[in-house]
Every structure is written in structure tokens, then in C-alpha cells.
């Protein structure tokens, strides 16, 4: 069989599989017309004995769907491929992508989504940008980034502050508050971070120019510690891209898919997202598709922090 013909037959199988998956939503006759295939061809395909490859694809589709649903429909083909390989399956990302398309599985994440927080206008001291978009760290406790965002509930706003270690991308400190005070936001998150991770030599602590980070209370909390404070340039959210990226993740994977009736309900969901899902189960492309927890264990982060 010629290569081109084989390619067409593979495409025809994918079309028929798509039609079978969506036959309860769309009329077969209409799908045949739109997809430019014959009804007789579809019914012949439907009645034939499945090939070994078709059976293997069906079995693989079940595994892929299990991982897809387990990720709350968040994972696309790269992360699902990494998950399958971790479980001993030899499979390429393009094949996973083809099976996902034929089974109607698509990540709920909008790739074009971008988060940028605004700078606060104040006359407090501003630290220089010592990070300079070097979003890597040679070890844990070397570079932390932080930011604050808003979470809407029917009871009113909540403010989420996070501190992330660039080494393993783990959220090591976070706080959820009803006010934007320095005490309830950055100081609370910093207290948790210092419990969860030790500073290793000199720490670069990077944030935007928000009033909480520039406040006398926060600068006082950092004094006496080996911490070099760093701040983004005015109006440039890319200088704090990793912290911004986490907010993109939590908003596009959790917050924008729920209507929180109470602050308590939002707090429980955010706790589960950060501590159960993001830190321990969610694969991260910057870590070679490891989870922050797995990456930390692999590199003995927790032994050093004990």
C-alpha cells in the first residue's frame, strides 16, 4: 500500500471514530455530509471486526481518559504522555494527541490567557530588579517569587498571596485574606514559607512594586535575614512571570470554572488546589514534567529543609 493511501485510511478511521463518539449528538447523515464520507463506508467500518491496532487504541483511549478525567480535564497530550510513560507505556505524544482528538478530549485551559497585576502608586522605597528575569535557581531556598491576586465570591473578595521557590516551582507559602493589609497578605505567606523551607545562603525575594512588599512592616520582617529584596520594573508584569504564571494556572484551572458562594467554600477549594493538586500531583513542564513534590524528593530538597 502506498504511503499516501495509508495516511488517508488512518484519517478515514479517525473520522469514523469521531462520528461514532458523537452519534448521539448529531445525525449520521449530517456528519457524513459535513465530513465528506459515505454512509455506507461508515456502516461498513462500524460492522467490521476491529483490528489489533484499533483494539490497542481503544484500550489506550480508556487509559488516556482516566488520566484526563483524573486531572479534571486539565491535562493536554504532553502531560498525559508523561504520565503514561511514568507507568511504563511506550507511546509518542502525537499518538496521544490523535487519540484524544478522536475521543473528543480537549484540555479546558485557554492557552492565550494572560494575567498581569497592576502596580500600586505609592511613595515607599522601591528595591532594584536583581532577578532580571533569570527564572532559575541552583538550589532550594535561593530564589523566591511572590504576588497577590483577587478571588471573587458571592460574599465578597478574597486576596490570595503566594510565595513560590523557583528551584522546584513549589508554593511554599500562601495566605488567603479578606483584607489587603501587609499583615494578612505578605507577612502571613512569608511566615508559612519560612516554616516550610530554610533559606540557603542569600535569598533573592522577588515581587512586583505593590505597597505590601514596599511597606515598612515587610522590610522590617526581612531585616536581619540574609534576604536581598528585588522588585519588577514599573508596569512590567513579565519581570515576575513565574508568579504571574501560577495565577494563570489557578484561575484557568479552578477559579474561572466555579462560582464560590462563600469565602469558606473558596478557601477549601484553593487549599485543595495548592496543597493537593498543584504541589503534589500537577506535572510541570519546567521540571521535565515532574510534579514539584516529585522533583523535590528526587533532588533531596526535603532532607535539606528538615
Query: What's the CATH number where 204 sits?
Result: 3.30.420.10
Q: What is the mean pLDDT of residues 80-107?
A: 87
Residue 22 belongs to what domain range?
A: 3-102
Q: In percent, how much of the chain has pLDDT > 90?
A: 52
Which residues does residue 227 pair with via DSSP β-bridges, in sequence order? 203
The model carries a pTM of 0.70
Copy the grid coordinates of residue 34.
459535513
Handedness of CA 152, 158, 164, 169 (dihedral sign): negative
Please tell me whether residues 81 and 170 are part of one structural domain.
Answer: no
* Cα distance between residue 279 and residue 168, in whole Å: 9
pLDDT score at 211: 94
Residues 6+ apart with CB under 8 A from 237: 115, 116, 117, 208, 244
Judged against a pLDDT cut of 50, whether residue 8 lies above it is answered with no
From 102, 119, 152, the end of a domain falls on 102
171 in a structural domain = yes
200 in a structural domain = yes
Please tell me whether residues 174 and 297 are part of one structural domain.
Answer: yes
Please tell me whether residues 161 and 257 are part of one structural domain.
Answer: yes
pLDDT band (50, 70, 90) for residue 261: very high
DSSP code of residue 233 = P
Whether the CB-CB separation of 212 and 186 falls below 8 Å is answered with yes
129 in a structural domain = no
Please tell me whether residues 98 and 202 are part of one structural domain.
Answer: no
Whether the CB-CB separation of 175 and 184 falls below 8 Å is answered with yes
From 69, 102, 135, the end of a domain falls on 102
Whether the CB-CB separation of 163 and 172 falls below 8 Å is answered with yes
39 in a structural domain = yes
Handedness of CA 155, 115, 292, 208 (dihedral sign): negative
pLDDT score at 110: 65
pLDDT score at 59: 85
Please tell me whether residues 201 and 252 are part of one structural domain.
Answer: yes
130 in a structural domain = no
pLDDT score at 303: 55
125 in a structural domain = no
136 in a structural domain = no
* Cα distance between residue 164 and residue 18, in whole Å: 42
Please tell me whether residues 161 and 301 are part of one structural domain.
Answer: yes
pLDDT band (50, 70, 90) for residue 175: very high
Mean pLDDT of the chain: 87
Burial 97-119, CB ≥16 within 10 A → b, else e: bbbbebbebebeeeeeeebebeb
107 in a structural domain = no
Number of structural domains (the chain) is 2
Amino acid at each position: 500500500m502506498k504511503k499516501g493511501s495509508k495516511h488517508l485510511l488512518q484519517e478515514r478511521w479517525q473520522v469514523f471514530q469521531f462520528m461514532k463518539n458523537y452519534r448521539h449528538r448529531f445525525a449520521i447523515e449530517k456528519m457524513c455530509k459535513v465530513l465528506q464520507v459515505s454512509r455506507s463506508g461508515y456502516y461498513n467500518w462500524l460492522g467490521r471486526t476491529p483490528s489489533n491496532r484499533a483494539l490497542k487504541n481503544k484500550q489506550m483511549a480508556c487509559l488516556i481518559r482516566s488520566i484526563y478525567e483524573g486531572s479534571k480535564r486539565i491535562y493536554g497530550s504532553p502531560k498525559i504522555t508523561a504520565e503514561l510513560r511514568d507507568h511504563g507505556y511506550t507511546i509518542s505524544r502525537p499518538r496521544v494527541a490523535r487519540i484524544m482528538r478522536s475521543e473528543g478530549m480537549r484540555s479546558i485551559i485557554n492557552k492565550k490567557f494572560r494575567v498581569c497585576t497592576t502596580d500600586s502608586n505609592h511613595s515607599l522605597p522601591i528595591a532594584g530588579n536583581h532577578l532580571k528575569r533569570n527564572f532559575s535557581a541552583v538550589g532550594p531556598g535561593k530564589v523566591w517569587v511572590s504576588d497577590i491576586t483577587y478571588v471573587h465570591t458571592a460574599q465578597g473578595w478574597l486576596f490570595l498571596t503566594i510565595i513560590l521557590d523557583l528551584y522546584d516551582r513549589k508554593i511554599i507559602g500562601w495566605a488567603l485574606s479578606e483584607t489587603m493589609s501587609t499583615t494578612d497578605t505578605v507577612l502571613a505567606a512569608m511566615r508559612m514559607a519560612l516554616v516550610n523551607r530554610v533559606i540557603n545562603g542569600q535569598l533573592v525575594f522577588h515581587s512586583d512594586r505593590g505597597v505590601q512588599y514596599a511597606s515598612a512592616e515587610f522590610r522590617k520582617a526581612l531585616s536581619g535575614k540574609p534576604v536581598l529584596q528585588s522588585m519588577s520594573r514599573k508596569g512590567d508584569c513579565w519581570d515576575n512571570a513565574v508568579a504571574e504564571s501560577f495565577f494563570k494556572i489557578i484561575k484557568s484551572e479552578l477559579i474561572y470554572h466555579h462560582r464560590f458562594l462563600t469565602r469558606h467554600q473558596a478557601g477549601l477549594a484553593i487549599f485543595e488546589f495548592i496543597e493537593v493538586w498543584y504541589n503534589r500531583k500537577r506535572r510541570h513542564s519546567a521540571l521535565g514534567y515532574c510534579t514539584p513534590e516529585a522533583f523535590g524528593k528526587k533532588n533531596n530538597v526535603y532532607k535539606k529543609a528538615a
